[in-house]
Amino acid sequence: MSVNAKRPVVLLGHMYHPEAEARLREAVPVEVLARPEPETIKAALRVACGAFVRYPNRLRAEALEGAAHLRIVSTSGRGTDAIDLAAATARGIPVVNNPAFGTVPVTEFTIGAMIAFAKNLLPLNALTHAGKGWAAQKDYRRFELRGRTLGIIGLGNIGTEVARCCTQAFRMRVLAYDPYVPAQKAAQAGAEWVSELARIWRESDFVSVHAELNDETRGMVGAAALAAMKPEAYLINTARGPIVSSAALAAALREKRIAGAALDVYEEEPLPADSPLAGLDNLILSPHTGGLTEEAMHRMALSAADQILQALRGERPPYLVNPQVWREPGRAA
């Protein structure tokens, strides 16, 4: 079935790869909103048949109010928190995401952060460049990952792959907390499934967050959780920023109540210049790029383009996040 090419697909920010935009343009008009402000988005969606939302741009409920012709909305990656999913569902608008493509890069980012901390690579690199490395050798702790305990919060695709790699490659002990998966899944990845989150804080040398952002996980890593961690432990968050309290983490790092942290995501993005996290020497910061390798961005962009076109042709796309609203061909454009 061909695509009705009268109405545009609106992109809230460029797609991750130009090949994906070119694929869309072969079938439909494409309008790119380089500066997607709320009023601009709302006006563009009044005539659009599809939309693509590149995080951290957001598609809010008010922008969907006049989107009478909108037949599909795609995320840029796996997460859907940039889209008001409840509002889209209430209006019968299918939403798709692009899962699994970030599994390898985020896993590698997580392991890279662990190695950087274990070998104290960042400070020793700076000191060696300054000609002070040899004199500082004894001042910086270095240890092996083998035999250390990793606590994983969230055992989805990424958490499972992190567990598998760390048990097999580094012979680490891995504890996994996820009340929504069976213990068997953890065992298959070489991890021990734990029923109490307190064990993660208490026993882990590294805690790595891979959970969804929802009402249960928002603010999960706050002052109490950080206080329960070992003083020589490290926190890594590559999931969603609001899971970790920036203020609580900054205080714990400043006061050396934990050894360090690595963040790829933040409560507010981009990270404000006056954030309490800025300038801490025991904190590794990355601008939400952990899953954005060139390979992953190419695959995610093509997945988004293909699913938009499938939906516009009346074909059911594979990664519907609100499948209850999907209707078979016959709806007007």
Residues annotated as part of the active site: 240, 269, 288
Distance CA 19, CA 97 (A): 18
Tokens at 186, concatenated: 């953890």
Tokens at 219, concatenated: 């603010």
Q: Which of helix, strand or coil describes residue 272?
A: coil
Distance CA 186, CA 192 (A): 6
What sign does the dihedral 206-55-319-60 (CA atoms) show? positive
> DSSP secondary-structure letter at 37?
-
Instruction: Give strand pairing partners of 193.
Output: 176
- Among 239, 238, 298, which residue's Cα sits nearest to residue 101? 298
Tokens at 107, concatenated: 């896993």
Non-local (6+) Cβ contacts of 75 within 8 A are 53, 55, 82, 83, 95, 96, 97, 98, 304
Distance CA 39, CA 165 (A): 46
Instruction: Give strand pairing partners of 153.
Output: 177, 209
Tokens at 4, concatenated: 């009705």
What sign does the dihedral 4-8-12-13 (CA atoms) show? positive
Instruction: Give strand pairing partners of 96.
Output: 74, 320
Maximum Cα interatomic distance, the chain, rounded to a whole number of Å: 74
Cβ atoms within 10 Å of 141's Cβ, excluding its own: 11
